[in-house]
């Protein structure tokens, strides 16, 4: 009987051109996504007088440096220069560019699926760690470094060592106010930022199958924060419904494509190097308190006490509490915040904006904040639904699409010492600005924090639904 294969086995085999004696494989790349930070790789091509091997499979996106306000005239010469360099490289190599004023512009990991560039079974690379987002569609998707970006540009291939396999199974039903963001922060807190180190994580179980594509993308996006090389979910009817009639999705023989995609799921009985199971019903709205995604707790918990843990863990806890300006043993709920941010490739899709707006509707925020949709299409759809009016009425700034305050490359920053409730993916020291203090949470939790000026359990705003 033939060996039962995991989804990773199937995707790897389909893209492997050769395998060296040291176990590293040369893989064919189906989609290569580049952005402003890819300028080093383009410079390598120029130095060697090389052209992009497959311009038709390479797509350029303005996102990390994209201003979310005042786009007509970019005041910062560095930001303007980064965007102009990408434009010149795209023009020189005949690449489709989703430019700043393009109606389809947005964050690369939002517009890839939105445009149907992301499809089941493809190998997708980008010089950005959160490329794992695309694995939500049953794609083999992972971030690569600048040297690898240059190699893909020149050859449409990448050298890579096959990761080990890990399955995270979530069964049961999520409670009210609990989202894919909470699932991710929960498992990362449980297993640590190295819990999936060196593994390709496949998510399975009834709770995962019940997620929308937006939720699945959030889950796969955050796989990297648990140390995984990539995350993936087997494509199903939810996937196919999302992709149908997208601009770059196949339209000549859709049924044949669906039939092929349906074979990508791991075979029943396939063996994983590691198997972990969680009960979805036990997951609560979750918030980070420290400077690593693993430093997260249910919003109802108390902050950890360094004196109550082993010395090797106490130092990290003490340092994180000091940087964050928090006291051990105090309730996490009630921690004052200075501002909020809703957006990013993790939580800047229409479902995320709807969830935040549902909490904010008809009310006024106690702190300022910025809402940056994940793409121009998401922004347009939100405006059609009146979500922008909800945010503006609440006193938040409604901005254009881009990575924005997630990484702060475009000038959207959190000031030193200020505390931000954020729907982003990383709470590292200075991630949102030098000295900034970041608490990661779901968009609905961010909205609740905006209303009270504190970290608060969003279930308090859900009335009978939280019972």
Contacts of 380 (CB under 8 A, 6+ apart): 103
**Boundary (domain end) residue, out of 240, 275, 310:** 275
Instruction: Please say whether the dihedral angle defined by the alpha carbons of residues 247, 251, 255 and 257, taken in this order, is positive or negative.
Output: negative
DSSP secondary-structure letter at 222?
G
CA angle at 274 for the pair 219 and 235, rounded to the nearest 5°: 40
Give 194-230 pLDDT, tens digit per residue.
Answer: 999 999 999 999 999 999 999 999 999 999 999 999 9
Instruction: Say whether pLDDT at 2 is over 60.
Output: no
CB 429 within 8 A of CB 321: no
**280 domain-assigned:** no
Instruction: For residue 89, give both structure tokens.
Output: 């490289």
Same structural domain, 343 and 376? yes
Instruction: Say whether pLDDT at 467 is over 60.
Output: no
**236 domain-assigned:** yes
Same structural domain, 100 and 42? yes
Instruction: Say whether pLDDT at 98 is over 60.
Output: yes
What's the mean pLDDT in 110-119? 98
Same structural domain, 313 and 245? no
CB 346 within 8 A of CB 422: no
**128 domain-assigned:** yes
**2 domain-assigned:** no
Which residue segment(s) compose the domain that 349 sits in?
A: 285-466
Distance of CA 27 to the CA centre of its chain: 24
Instruction: For residue 124, give both structure tokens.
Output: 């997708």
pLDDT band at 1 (very low <50, low <70, confident <90, very high): very low
Instruction: For residue 38, give both structure tokens.
Output: 């890819």
Dihedral in degrees, nearest 10, Cα atoms 410, 412, 418, 419: -100
The number of distinct structural domains making up the chain is 2
φ/ψ (deg, to 5) at 347? -145, 50
**231 domain-assigned:** yes
Instruction: Say whether pLDDT at 310 is over 80.
Output: yes
Same structural domain, 213 and 355? no
Same structural domain, 290 and 265? no
Containing H/E element for 126?
strand 123-126
Q: State whether residue 161 is helix, strand or coil.
A: strand
Same structural domain, 80 and 173? yes
Instruction: Say whether pLDDT at 465 is over 60.
Output: no
The pLDDT of residue 184 = 98
**Boundary (domain end) residue, out of 242, 275, 308:** 275
- Minimum mean pLDDT range among 55-59, 76-80, 454-458, 463-467: 463-467
Q: What is the CATH number of the domain that holds 165?
A: 3.30.499.10
Q: State whether residue 454 is helix, strand or coil.
A: strand
Distance of CA 434 to the CA centre of its chain: 22
The pLDDT of residue 75 = 87
d(CA 420, CA 338): 6
The pLDDT of residue 466 = 40
Instruction: For residue 93, give both structure tokens.
Output: 């190599």
The pLDDT of residue 3 = 87
Q: State whether residue 165 is helix, strand or coil.
A: strand
CB 179 within 8 A of CB 287: no
pLDDT band at 42 (very low <50, low <70, confident <90, very high): very high
**138 domain-assigned:** yes
pLDDT band at 36 (very low <50, low <70, confident <90, very high): very high
What's the mean pLDDT in 374-391? 98
**Boundary (domain end) residue, out of 275, 295, 327:** 275
Instruction: For residue 47, give both structure tokens.
Output: 């130095």
- Partnered with residue 157 across adjacent β-strands are 28
Tell me the pairing of strands 339-343 and 369-372.
Answer: parallel
Q: b/e per residue, 65-76, with b = 16+ CB within 10 A?
A: bbbbeeeeebee
Please give the full DSSP string across 30-88, using - where no structure is assigned: SEEEE-GGGHHHHHHHHHTT---S-GGGEEEE--TT--SS--SS---HHHHHHHHHHHH
Same structural domain, 245 and 361? no
Same structural domain, 304 and 174? no
pTM: predicted TM-score of the whole model, two decimal places: 0.96
Q: What is the mean pLDDT of the chain?
A: 96
Same structural domain, 271 and 294? no
Same structural domain, 131 and 62? yes
Give 246-255 pLDDT, tens digit per residue.
Answer: 999 987 789 9
DSSP secondary-structure letter at 431?
T
Same structural domain, 326 and 210? no
What's the mean pLDDT in 358-363? 97
The pLDDT of residue 464 = 40
Q: Strand runs (DSSP E) across 268-322, as ranges? A: 274-279, 286-288, 296-298
DSSP secondary-structure letter at 103?
T
The pLDDT of residue 34 = 98
Same structural domain, 253 and 369? no
CA angle at 56 for the pair 51 and 57, rounded to the nearest 5°: 95
The pLDDT of residue 252 = 72
**1 domain-assigned:** no
């Amino acid at each position: 009987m033939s060996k039962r294969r995991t989804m990773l086995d199937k995707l790897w085999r389909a893209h492997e051109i050769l395998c060296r004696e040291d176990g590293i494989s040369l893989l064919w790349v189906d989609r290569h996504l580049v952005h402003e930070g890819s300028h080093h790789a383009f410079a390598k091509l120029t130095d060697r007088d090389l052209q992009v091997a497959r311009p038709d499979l390479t797509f350029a996106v303005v996102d990390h440096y994209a201003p979310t306000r005042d786009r007509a005239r970019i005041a910062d010469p560095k930001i303007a220069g980064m965007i102009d360099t990408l434009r010149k490289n795209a023009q020189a190599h005949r690449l489709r560019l989703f430019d700043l004023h393009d109606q389809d512009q947005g964050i690369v990991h939002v517009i890839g699926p939105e445009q149907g560039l992301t499809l089941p079974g493809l190998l997708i690379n980008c010089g950005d760690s959160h490329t794992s987002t695309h694995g939500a569609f049953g794609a083999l998707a992972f971030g690569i470094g600048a040297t690898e970006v240059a190699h893909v540009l020149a050859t449409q291939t990448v050298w890579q060592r096959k990761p080990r396999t890990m399955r995270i199974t979530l069964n049961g039903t999520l409670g009210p106010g609990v989202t894919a963001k909470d699932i991710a922060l929960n498992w990362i807190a449980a297993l640590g930022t190295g819990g999936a180190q060196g593994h390709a994580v496949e998510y399975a179980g009834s709770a995962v199958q019940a997620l929308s594509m937006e939720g699945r993308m959030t889950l796969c996006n955050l796989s990297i924060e648990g140390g995984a090389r990539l995350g993936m979910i087997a494509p199903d009817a939810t996937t196919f419904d999302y992709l149908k009639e997208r601009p770059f999705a196949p339209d000549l023989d859709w049924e044949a494509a669906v039939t092929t995609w349906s074979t990508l799921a791991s075979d029943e009985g396939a063996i994983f190097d590691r198997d972990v199971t969680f009960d979805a019903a036990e997951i609560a709205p979750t918030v980070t308190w420290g400077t690593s995604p693993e430093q997260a707790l249910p919003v109802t918990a108390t902050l950890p006490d360094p004196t109550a843990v082993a010395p090797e863990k106490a130092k990290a806890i003490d340092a994180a509490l000091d940087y964050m300006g928090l006291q051990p043993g105090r309730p996490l709920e009630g921690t004052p915040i200075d501002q909020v941010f809703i957006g990013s490739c993790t939580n800047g899709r229409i479902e995320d904006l709807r969830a935040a707006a549902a909490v904010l509707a008809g009310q006024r925020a106690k702190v300022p904040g910025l809402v940056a949709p994940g793409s121009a299409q998401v922004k347009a759809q939100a405006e059609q639904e009146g979500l922008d009016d909800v945010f503006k009425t609440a006193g938040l700034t409604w901005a254009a699409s881009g990575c924005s305050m997630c990484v702060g490359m475009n000038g959207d920053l959190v000031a030193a010492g200020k505390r931000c409730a954020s729907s982003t993916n990383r709470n590292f020291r200075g991630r949102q600005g030098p000295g900034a203090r970041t608490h990661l949470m779901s968009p609905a939790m961010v909205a609740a924090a905006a209303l009270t000026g504190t970290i608060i359990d969003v279930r308090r705003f859900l009335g009978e639904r939280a019972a």
